[in-house]
Amino acid sequence: MPKRSLRVIKWLGTTPVVAVCAFCGEQFKAPMSSLSKTADAQANLQRQFDAHKCKSADCNENALGVTREDADDK
């Protein structure tokens, strides 16, 4: 099971634009106002990630594209 961490999934040059929680799959978007500075965009995404609460372990399965039924079949 992956640890709770922030993973950037979309970049605009060297600036992170969209990131997800590796545990629950919740998505975070950097506001347009922070995109002019890479450090601002990164800090904004990190603040959003730090403030969020992972919903449950079932969310993790959905984020990975695996359902409980798929796991039971194996």
Contact predicate 16/38, CB 8 Å = yes
**pLDDT at position 65:** 53
Domain boundaries, the chain: 6-73
Q: Residues of the chain with pLDDT > 70: what percent?
A: 72
Q: What is the 3-state secondary structure (H, E, C) of 14-73?
A: CEEEEEEECCCCCEEECCHHHCCCHHHHHHHHHHHHHHCCCCCHHHHHHHHCCCHHHHHH
Per the prediction, the chain carries an average pLDDT of 83
- Cα separation, 65 vs 20, in Å, equals 14
